[in-house]
A and B are shown apart, each in its own frame.
Chain A
Amino acid sequence: MSIKIFVSKDSAALSLGANQVAEAISKEAQARKLDIQIVRNSSRGLFWLETLVEVETVEGRIGFGPINPNDVKSLFDADFIQGGKHPFALGLVSEIDWLKKQERLTFARMGITEPTSIDQYIEHDGFEGLKNALNLDPQGIVQTVTDSGLRGRGGAAFPTGIKWKTVLDTKATQKYIVCNADEGDSGTYSDRMIMEGDPFVLIEGMIIAGLAVGASQGYIYLRSEYPHALKTLNEAIEKAKSAGYLGDDILKSGHAFHLEVRRAAGAYICGEETSLLESLEGKRGLVRFKPPLPAIEGLFGKPTAVNNVISLATVPIILAKGAKYYQDFGMGKSRGTLPIQLAGNLKRTGLIEKAFGITLRELLYDFGGGSLSGKPIKAVQVGGPLGAYLPESQFDTPMDYEKFSEIWAILGHGGIVAFDETVNMAKMARYAFDFCAIESCGKCTPCRVGSTRGVEVMDHIIAGKDVEKHTTLIRDLSDTMLNGSLCGLGGMTPYPVLSALNHFPKDFGVDVKVTKA
């Protein structure tokens, strides 16, 4: 029997040469007349070990990594297929501390199954949640999700069950489920991993959402920067259709649910739900005034549940194992787990799914291993480009929505970007304004004009011109943007700006006392 060798086809693994590694293994095995089968699976999310090569043994899968194509010959020389000794040998992959210390619920199948194999999905508990959902009435499904404590994982952290209840209670002939897959935050890639690595879990979550609110049509609004995810999702949707999970009569239940992927077009603002809906309708992504809430008047004027990829992909396990199972993870009002993404200047980057409550310090040092450059970590930005910069003194903050808002920071979508001491925080504050100026939809003045003025004022500060006067102006401008913007883009750009100014005044050339914004 041929021996199974696993090499991921996640695009991050591909970006490090996974295809070339797989090719080299196949060639080398042929040359040595070895009977192997290469399986292209999803990624474990241990990106510091990619390209990770795993070999199936009776004890489980053993790993070797990080492997470059030119390491492949030495793997064979060491007889890695039989578990031979090699400098990159990692032992049993499931026993790697980094992975073992995690609590993988949403990411349970990651790195284990082949992304578009529906049989493997079912073998690994797939569609269990849907089966349970089909035995409940819509109210029952909404109640289960509410009881689980799941909050929107896109960043806003609004209780998913409450959003669904509003859509359910709004009478309409047509309702929609929209998956916000416009993951634009720097430092985040959990949505991409799900869509490339376990697309059926998202599809299942969307079907359940459809049953819960009475929607028969779903759209996945996918960012155009993710071509691999597009291919995988479309393939998975076709397979789900053929297997009867999508269509006019899903699993002969009498319920209909249709699903379609729509490509975004590189506008960060379209991650904001009302701008996303405008875009789906074929318009410029201008933010809408709220109210009306999308749950009442959303896509094409119909009640619409707009949920992030991770929120929807977490629904199946909640329905499969019950609200209490999920609720038992976490702390305070932050229940369940958060897929945390380590990025930037860290030794061990990758995906960590953990119950809420782990501290930033544990993530940065125990998991992350400190900076890759070896220099001290000066600042970390949590929650994407609109998240605050945190200095070392705040590293003991636990990952919890409320604890983060107490220190005027956000968890957002769970991305953590670490910077070493070479970073200049005044430049990062300038970049925050610049990014806002590039991505502003232009509808409201504080964001459209404020961002450009912010860049100009930051240029004066960086040039050392009237620094006191200009930092006062930055605070004033930030106040206007914070309170006067229509949506989070203009309204939250002050987070990175003011946190940089408050925690790193020296970089701005002033010795400002740390003041609470």
Chain B
Amino acid sequence: MEDFVLNPQDYKIINQHILQYQSMPGALLPLLHAIQDDLGFVPEIAYPLISIALSLSVAEVHGVVTFYHHFRSHKPGRHILQVCRAESCQAMGSEMLELHIKKHLGIDFHETTSDGVITLEPIYCLGNCACSPSVMIDEEVYGRVDSKKIDQLISDLKRAS
């Protein structure tokens, strides 16, 4: 269930970032990045805080968070698995890989496994097109991924959690 109030810890983090970024020109994206880097998402209940600090409306903050694929307003799993869907990876069988991963995890894109370990997301190019197909786990890219390799990576994530 979603929280209706920010917990004190998150409130403190968000306020620290607001203080750091609010006087920067074009501060909204850097601020949202900083919040998401720490919390894993940008809680909707923080929009009023952000909007007041940057003299924006809550609607404007909501508009920006939802415009960009990178930002999330809901808490994701402990790890983010992004599967590249762009042309170079398609040329190397990413469609099959994508189906395999969805079946293996039992979830679709934008969903999280029931154990809360992995959130699955599509991504359009990781700049690793010389080594297609590629996936990214948190901030690490893996190239020439086949079903065997992804199964190993997934079980490593599950074991570590």
Chain A residues near B (Cβ < 8 Å): 11-12, 14-16, 47-48, 50, 183-189, 191-192, 223-228, 262-268, 279-285, 300, 341-345, 349-351, 372, 381, 385, 415, 417-420, 423, 428, 431, 435, 438-439, 441
Contacts and interface: CB of A to CB of B under 8 A. Distances in A.
B140 A189 contact: no
Interface string B119-161: 0000111111111101010011111100000000000000000
Q: Which 10 A-B pairs have the closest CB atoms?
A: A282-B28, A186-B86, A343-B129, A265-B68, A15-B143, A266-B70, A344-B91, A47-B130, A266-B69, A349-B130
Interface string B13-41: 00000000000011111101100000000
A341 B129 contact: yes
A143 to B, nearest CB: 32
Given A300-B25, A344-B91, A345-B92, A186 B131 contact: no
Contacts of A268: 124
B29 A431 contact: no
B113 interface: no
B139 A428 contact: no
B70 A265 contact: yes
Given A48-B130, A344-B88, 17 more contacts: A12-B130, A15-B134, A16-B131, A16-B143, A186-B89, A187-B86, A188-B125, A189-B127, A262-B29, A265-B68, A265-B70, A282-B28, A300-B25, A351-B130, A415-B88, A418-B91, A438-B124
A44 to B, nearest CB: 12
Contact of B87 (A227, A281, A431, A441): A431
Contacts of B141: 11-12, 14-15
Contacts of B128: 11-12, 15, 189
Contacts of B68: 264-267, 285
Given A262-B30, A431-B87, A15 B127 contact: no
Contacts of B63: 284
B4 interface: no
Interface residues on chain B, size class: 35 or more
Contact of B127 (A50, A188, A279, A438): A188
B64 interface: yes
Nearest to B90: A431
Looking at chain A's contact residues, the main secondary structure is mixed
Q: Which of A11, A263, A282, A431 has the most CB of B within 10 A?
A: A282
Given A280-B26, A418-B91, A343 B132 contact: yes
Contacts of B88: 186-187, 343-344, 415, 417
Interface of B: 25-30, 32-33, 54, 60, 63-64, 67-71, 86-92, 123-132, 134, 136, 139-144
Contacts of A441: 67
Given A266-B69, A267-B67, A282-B26, A14 B130 contact: no
Nearest to A435: B124
Tell which of A12, A14, A349 has the most Cβ of chain B within 10 Å.
A12
A185 B127 CA distance: 8
Nearest to B54: A282
A28 B103 CA distance: 40
Given A267-B69, A341-B130, A15 B26 contact: no
Nearest to B91: A344
Contacts of A183: 127
Nearest to A423: B91
B124 A184 contact: yes
A11 B130 CA distance: 11
Contacts of B25: 281, 300
Nearest to B30: A262
A404 B141 CA distance: 33
Nearest to B140: A14
Contacts of B89: 186
Nearest to A48: B130
A186 B124 contact: yes
B124 A284 contact: no
A417 B129 contact: yes
Contacts of B30: 262-263
Contacts of A262: 26, 29-30
A284 B134 contact: no
Contacts of A267: 67-70
A428 B87 CA distance: 8
A11 B126 CA distance: 10
A467 to B, nearest CB: 23
18 contacts: A15-B143, A47-B131, A186-B89, A186-B124, A189-B130, A191-B127, A224-B33, A224-B70, A228-B139, A265-B68, A265-B70, A268-B124, A283-B64, A284-B67, A285-B68, A300-B26, A343-B88, A428-B90
Contact of A186 (B69, B71, B129, B140): B129
